[in-house]
Amino acid sequence: MGTEYILELKHISKSFPGVKALDDVTLCVRPGTVHSLMGENGAGKSTLMKCLFGIYSFDEGEIILDGKNIKFSSPSEALQNHVSMVHQELNQVLNQTVMENMWLGRFPMKHGLVDDQKMYEDTKAIFDDLDIQVNPKVKIGTLKVSQKQMIEIAKAVSYNSKVIVMDEPTSSLTEKEVEHLFKIIEKLKKKNTSIIYISHKMEEILRISDDVTVMRDGKWIDTKPASELTIDKIIKMMVGRELKDRYPEKKAKIGDVLMEVKDLGTLNPGFEGVNFQLHKGEILGIAGLVGSKRTEILETLFGIRMKGKGQILVKGKEVQNRSPKEAMANGFAMLTEERRSDGIFGGLSVGFNMTISNLPKYQKTGLLNGEKMKADITKMINAMKVKTPSMKSKIANLSGGNQQKVILGRWLLTDPDILLLDEPTRGIDVGAKFEIYQLINQLAEQGKGIIVVSSEMPELFGISDRILVMSNGHQSAIFDSKEVGQVDVMQAAARFI
């Protein structure tokens, strides 16, 4: 292999109690290229990268960087050797400034004190080079998720990295920001930096990759030049079967009106004039650009935000939903967009995470009925096809798709009438997505009303009966998804901008 590769991970294996996460995986990255790593959730992509980055130690195999055998014992050692990683879940010190986050643990010093001026200038130089328009002196907690993401990428660049791992870097970026990221990647390639790019977005992968490696169930499946691949070929490699249709067929019968929303609005800053009916068995998609206030509608319906005006009627009766607890009592359930920060209790078990919203159901004379809980958890793990060694495993150790299934299972145990799903398949692979769509369909068949917010237009068309379009805090249109195309929705989404 010689110097053809900047980085070689050869025959890597890694086991955790009860599960072999990596089984003889090889990944070879050429200098100055984008090498995409693909596979369903749980395929072992992140585990492989954590072995490279010194977060996990691998059991078998070897890693060669720039011709030298390496085995990093910590991320800081990886960074010192010019290997950096932009994680999917951002870990930043929110009450510190952007530049302090950039140089955390390696502040420039002068006469024994932190040299703020040099820190500012060094940060500004990198931002200018990458065309990032953020003031280095503002607190990072005040920024949008997409800006925080760009700062993480700039930080990775600041280590003069030979290899940068990007794990789902576009999951919270708008189309314009994605274009900006791709420009940064082009610049890095010209400087002979290699990128290992993990994403589920097939169109992106085909557009920016030089090479693509596919993993499945902890094993290496194939590595091919991106120019030889199509979306269908990648899907087949990932799932080991052809997903003829990315979306399962809908069989639910649309029934009576379950909920009516009249002139709904929230206080500043918010949205206004939202009107729609949701029928039993219906899946209503909500489309709109980032900032159009789609999530805010769901949060208002679920009592996370205060309703400013308008009415919410369930089965003809007005409900107030002044808090999530009240909303749950009225038959609502909500799956939030940010799994890690407000969806899961990462350090606790799958079983705990599945039953936490439903504890009153298991209480008898003040004690919890462990048998009933166990039976429900087992039933739900099987029904949702959750891949987990046991119900006692920590939820944080599961893949993103499996975490999402656990949270969905949690809400199903409360037996809601109305399900509010905010980006239910964000950061989830194509096979797990299909399973979640099937679950959504099954719920519709049971007569539940479902509202789905999604930034992926094909997904909205693939699963929704109707699509409500938001634009800049206003309801712009409501379409039958079989009668319009993506262009109509995009025009409506831009109407009030």
pLDDT tens, residue by residue, 364-387:
777 888 888 899 899 888 887 888
161, 27: one domain: yes
**Tens digits of per-residue pLDDT, 411-443?**
888 889 999 999 888 777 777 788 889 889 999
Is the pLDDT confidence value at 92 over 70? yes
269, 354: one domain: yes
Question: What are the residues facing 285 on neighbouring strands?
Answer: 452, 467
Average pLDDT (61-72) is 94
Q: Nearest-5° angle of CA 350, CA 354, CA 355?
A: 125
pLDDT at 2: 43
Dihedral of the alpha carbons of 146, 152, 157, 159, in degrees to the nearest 10? 170
Is the pLDDT confidence value at 85 over 60? yes
pLDDT at 315: 96
389, part of any domain: yes
273, part of any domain: yes
Question: What are the residues facing 195 on neighbouring strands?
Answer: 34, 164
Residue 243: pLDDT band with limits 50, 70, 90:
low
Q: Report yes or no: 37 and 197 within 8 Å, Cβ to Cβ.
A: yes
Is the pLDDT confidence value at 135 over 80? yes
Axis-axis angle for helices 370-384, 400-412 (nearest 10)? 130
Residue 115: pLDDT band with limits 50, 70, 90:
very high
226, 351: one domain: no
pLDDT at 347: 85
Max CA separation in the chain (angstroms): 74
For residue 173, count CB atoms less than 10 angstroms from its CB and return exposed for 0-12, middle for 13-18, buried for 19 or more: buried
Q: Cα dist. 358→234, 301, 422 in Å?
A: 40, 20, 21
pLDDT at 340: 61
Q: Give the structural domain span for 356.
A: 257-493
Is the pLDDT confidence value at 165 over 80? yes
pLDDT at 241: 60
Is the pLDDT confidence value at 393 over 60? yes
Is the pLDDT confidence value at 262 over 90? yes
Assigned token pair, 221:
């499946």
Q: What is the CATH number of the domain that holds 309?
A: 3.40.50.300
Residue 11: pLDDT band with limits 50, 70, 90:
very high
Is the pLDDT confidence value at 22 over 90? yes
34, 119: one domain: yes
Give the best-scoring range by mean pLDDT among 145-149, 214-218, 266-270, 419-423.
419-423
Average pLDDT of the chain, as a whole number = 89
174, 273: one domain: no
Average pLDDT (284-295) is 89
169, part of any domain: yes
61-65, 271-275, 288-292: range with lowest mean pLDDT: 288-292
Q: Cα dist. 473→290, 323, 364, 469, 494 in Å?
A: 11, 22, 46, 10, 11
Q: Which of 173, 206, 239 is the last residue of a domain?
A: 239
Neighbours of 189 (CB within 10 A): 17
pLDDT at 396: 86
pLDDT at 1: 39
222-231, 365-374, 440-449: range with lowest mean pLDDT: 365-374
Residue 202: pLDDT band with limits 50, 70, 90:
confident
222, 348: one domain: no
150, 66: one domain: yes
Is the pLDDT confidence value at 238 over 90? no
458, 377: one domain: yes
Average pLDDT (283-306) is 92
pLDDT at 244: 60
Is the pLDDT confidence value at 255 over 90? yes
Q: Which of 186, 212, 239 is the last residue of a domain?
A: 239
Residue 147: pLDDT band with limits 50, 70, 90:
confident
229, 343: one domain: no
272, 173: one domain: no
pLDDT at 3: 60
Is the pLDDT confidence value at 447 over 90? yes
Domain count, the chain: 2
- Whole-model pTM: value is 0.62
251, part of any domain: no
246, part of any domain: no
Q: How far is residue 396's CA from residue 420's CA, in Å, rounded to a whole number?
A: 23
244, part of any domain: no
pLDDT at 14: 94
250, part of any domain: no
Average pLDDT (127-152) is 90
Q: Report yes or no: 243 and 430 within 8 Å, Cβ to Cβ.
A: yes
14, 154: one domain: yes
Residue 170: pLDDT band with limits 50, 70, 90:
confident
Q: Which of 181, 208, 239 is the last residue of a domain?
A: 239
172, part of any domain: yes
Residue 193: pLDDT band with limits 50, 70, 90:
very high
Phi, psi of 65 (to 5 degrees): -115, 120
Residues 6+ apart with CB under 8 A from 13: 20, 22, 23, 24, 25, 58, 59, 60, 61
Phi, psi of 495 (to 5 degrees): -60, -40
Residue 29: pLDDT band with limits 50, 70, 90:
very high
212 DSSP assignment: E
232, 335: one domain: no
Q: Which residue has the higher pLDDT, 65 or 403?
A: 65
Q: Cα dist. 359→185, 243, 302, 373, 380 in Å?
A: 48, 38, 19, 9, 15
Q: Report yes or no: 135 and 98 within 8 Å, Cβ to Cβ.
A: yes
47-71 core/surface letters (b: 16 or more CB in 10 A; e: else) = bbbbbbbbbbebeebebbbeeeebe
Phi, psi of 114 (to 5 degrees): -70, 130
Helices (H), 315-369: 324-329, 339-342, 350-355, 359-362
